[in-house]
Chains A and B, each alone.
Chain A
Amino acid sequence: MSGTPLLSLAVWIPIFAGLVVLATGSDRNAPLARMLALAGAFAGLLVTIPLYTGFDMQTPAMQFVELAPWIPRFNINYHLGVDGISMLFVILNSFITLIVVLAGWQVIDNKVAQYNAGFLIMSGLLNGIFSALDGILFYVFFEASLIPLYLIIGIWGGPNRVYAAIKFFLYTLLGSLLFLVALLYLFINSGGSFSILDWHQLPIPMGAQIWIFLAFLIAFAVKVPMWPVHTWLPDAHVEAPTGGSIVLAAIGLKLGAYGFLRFSLPITPDASHELAGLIVALSLIAVVYIGFVALVQEDMKKLVAYSSIAHMGFVTLGFFMFSALGIEGALVQMISHGFVSGAMFFCIGVMYDRVHSRRIADYGGVVNTMPKFAAFFMLFAMANAGLPATSGFVGEFMVILGAVKYNFWVAFAAASTMIVGAAYTLWMYKRVIFGDIGNHHVAELTDINGREFLILALLAIGTLGMGLYPQPFTEVMHSSVNELLRHIAISKIQ
């Protein structure tokens, strides 16, 4: 398989499929658009499977590398490659795209071609982000991926969608523009290279490292999102259509965290050590404070959005403890959150499609009319709360273990959220699912159909599989994570 440009295929198949879907035009061809989108998403997923099966776990080096000059004038290259950190996200993203296309199958009946094309194109761009090894290539994918999501939220979103879409776009653009200045600074000071791998080796004085780190931090903190720049996320999630929420939660939030691993830690290791306290503090605020904010939400999507912020707090916390346990735990948490939050948003979408409300108070006793759905929802709620045997447990447990070694009180604060997390998730579950039938809407509910069952089953397999047997996920990370740790332990100040 060495000759096949797998990563290019993973990037461009969805994008071209998206353009083909777009060409089907008006809603008269909606069934064709859906079929083409499904085929494109499936093909996109298929080409990513050899990335796992052909992956060499022994080496921390980049694999499946493709290198071609793109803009020689500025030494910008079309440079793709994955290591143990990024490879799983390419697969996860392609998988989630399939889920999203299925999730919108019957629900979206307005501008079907544009809807599906938006997700396919975004999927290709997101794969590009995870596999880009050139700073500008990364940036181009990073920023271009805003456009489809902006349109998806704005066209198919809820009543306040315009505000949410523009807020989402401008917030993330703010971060990425400063990121661009940092990239240019590195370009100039590395003697004209945009290669991320070259930058990893570049010695940088402390003062500059701090500034670069802060520029990276703004870009990635907005994306993660970290407290206090998280406010765009609840708005975006609440207004986005189900598919948009799934992609945003499952993949969108991972971009910022991935950026920390690919840029902040290896390029500015000394600044990372210096400012680790700040990140740990912000992460703990996200974990604890946002956990309590989630507790009082009346809107289910908002609740899950805040719970996402809290979960991502675990991820950034794990990164900045500089231990293998912390970073691997954070990576596991990211993938697990991809399954679980995607599933939670899909579950809310299932109910919303029937009742057209996301308010917790509008439900009650759903288990009486939707027993199969209630069972699935239970599983994902438990995973969201971090119950052992689900994927949610593995990552959080590893991060907390790492934290105990780092600082007991940090670990204590982080562990306390296991309780808060369980509280807000299960309390919501109780109010929505259990009890007597709340109103006539709930009484008229029909249980999930085959398509919804398939989606939930696929996500449940991911959640349970990862919870019961996480080794296939963690073993591919080891050498890359160890190499990263070894790298950031060496000072780059000369």
Chain B
Amino acid sequence: MQFVLPDLRPASAELFMLVMACVILMVDLFVKDRKRTLTYVLTQLTLVGTAFVIFMTSTGEVAYTFSNLFVDDLMGDLLKLLTCLTVLIVLFYSRGYVLDRPQLGRGEYYTLVLFATLGMMVMISANHFLTIYLGLELLSLSLYALVALNRDSVRATEAAMKYFVLGALASGLLLYGMSMIYGATGTLEITAVSDALMQGQANRSILVFGLVFLVAGIAFKLGVVPFHMWIPDVYHGAPTAITLLIASAPKLAAFAIVMRMLVSGLVVLAADWQMMLIVLSVLSMAIGNLAAIAQTNLKRMLAYSAISHMGFMLLGLVTGIVGGDARFALNAYSSAMFYVVTYVLTSAGTFGMILLLARAGFESEELEDFKGLNKRSPWFAAVMMMMMFSMAGVPFFVGFFAKFSVLQAVVAAGYLWLAIAAVLFSLIGAFYYLRVVKLMYFDQPKDLTPVTATVGNKVLMSANGLAVALLGIFPQALMSICAVALLRSL
């Protein structure tokens, strides 16, 4: 058998990141500095470099490599670019927090974050069920370790344990589903699965049986009801810097694997998985929004809000194929993509705000801690208010257009009742976002300590807030980018 060197160009960004992650792992051994400035700078440069490589190597064409295990297309490029930028922002926000907490600020933190990012990128570019699994495990294992990084904290350890056990269960479900698909079609390559299904030879009952497990595994990773149990505990228990990471970039990767597995691979079964996702979506919006009301901890509240947002995002995915008609597919999937991208932007901002207000020995994660923020810092209260109104879907903030684009896809597909249910649950959701605004603006502060974050952090947070507002006034560009990326990839 002749050895053929695979075409490495489509995977150059991943390779670059892998090499750099290993280099940083080595370099960090020789860093004496307690602040690990060198490691931090190198990590950030790696992310910038990877983003640059993605940008430069993006051809807009669909390219397969590694015997069709791996695909590079415009959707993948866009999502990977956004992933790198998000992680860049996450590390930037976390810098001060990590410095104040020596347990976190070790070299492992940076390399684990890089490996998690690599995992996300592999997930995004997977063209094979096993590649998806590989990326997913790389991401998950890095995250388990990151959650437990502060090993003296009982809460964090418990969260990591829970995350690990439930995550392993979900991986098992996913693998089991994949094995069924393999049994029915004889292949795990996503494009080949799709072709095999088009032939109509595969055993349908085995396929649907496998599909149930696949959807359950995906639902776990997305964190939608009833596979959401880990989300509140992990969001709450993990150090905020890690919560920020979990709550942002992985949502992009999760969206990508849904697109790869369900839309690219199993589109023939759309009627089946759409029905399942509708149930998951409505349940998530209901339970996420209702449970969020009862929370007193902001991280926990945002965890439930994340559940409801992922439920809302699923609405865009379930409306792509209507009665075998794919006319609405591009509209629906690009609206879901727009939703998830803007959600990540807003979510990064809200958790970033918790980090911004946290100090050594003070987490600033209780809702009470936001009381009277308007007195302490009118500008950051305004930024947080923009985030909250954006999450609630009030214009002129980007969250409104995210909800709008998904809702128009739902209405276009003829699911009026689903649209009405979605807006009614958003109304419930508006209540707890309003309560945060109420705490910041209507209540008296508990302490009057001014915000002590670094200038860079303040600038980035301001930019994040302005982005939420400006994208809400001019959403066209981002919407078009999402649509074009999907058009060129599907």
**Footprint of B on A, CB under 8 Å?**
25, 70-74, 111, 114, 136, 139-140, 143-144, 146-147, 150-151, 154-155, 161-162, 165-166, 169-170, 173-174, 177-178, 180-181, 184-185, 187-188
Contacts and interface: CB of A to CB of B under 8 A. Distances in A.
Nearest to A139: B395
Nearest to A153: B442
Contacts of B411: 181, 184-185, 187-188
B441 A154 contact: yes
B476 A70 contact: yes
Nearest to A71: B476
Contacts of B396: 140, 144
B166 to A, nearest CB: 34
B431 A144 contact: no
B430 A170 contact: yes
Contacts of B480: 73
A308 to B, nearest CB: 25
A187 B405 CA distance: 12
B420 interface: yes
Interface residues of B, number: 34
B295 interface: no
B483 interface: yes
Contacts of B441: 151, 154-155
B426 interface: yes
B423 A150 contact: no
A71 B427 contact: no
Nearest to A26: B378
Contacts of A169: 430, 434
A165 B438 contact: yes
A181 B419 contact: yes
B175 to A, nearest CB: 39
Interface string B367-394: 0000000100010000000000100001
A164 to B, nearest CB: 11
A180 B479 contact: no
A173 B407 contact: no
Contact of A181 (B394, B407, B412, B430): B407
Interface string B393-407: 011100011001101
Nearest to B389: A147
B378 A25 contact: yes
A180 B476 CA distance: 19
A144 B395 contact: yes
Given A174-B427, A177-B424, A140 B400 contact: yes
A177 B476 contact: no
B431 A170 contact: yes
B61 to A, nearest CB: 24
Contact of B442 (A140, A147, A162, A177): A162
B408 interface: yes
Interface in B261-312: none
B416 interface: yes
B395 A140 contact: yes
B434 A166 contact: yes
Given A71-B475, A166-B431, A188-B412, A178 B442 contact: no
A178 B423 contact: yes
Across chains A and B, which 5 residue pairs bring their CB atoms closest together, nearest first? A177-B423, A140-B395, A184-B411, A154-B442, A71-B476
Contacts of A151: 437, 441
Contact of B479 (A73, A161, A165, A177): A73
Contacts of A146: 394
15 contacts: A71-B479, A74-B404, A144-B396, A151-B437, A154-B438, A154-B441, A155-B441, A155-B442, A165-B442, A173-B430, A181-B411, A184-B408, A184-B411, A185-B411, A188-B412
Contacts of A114: 374, 378
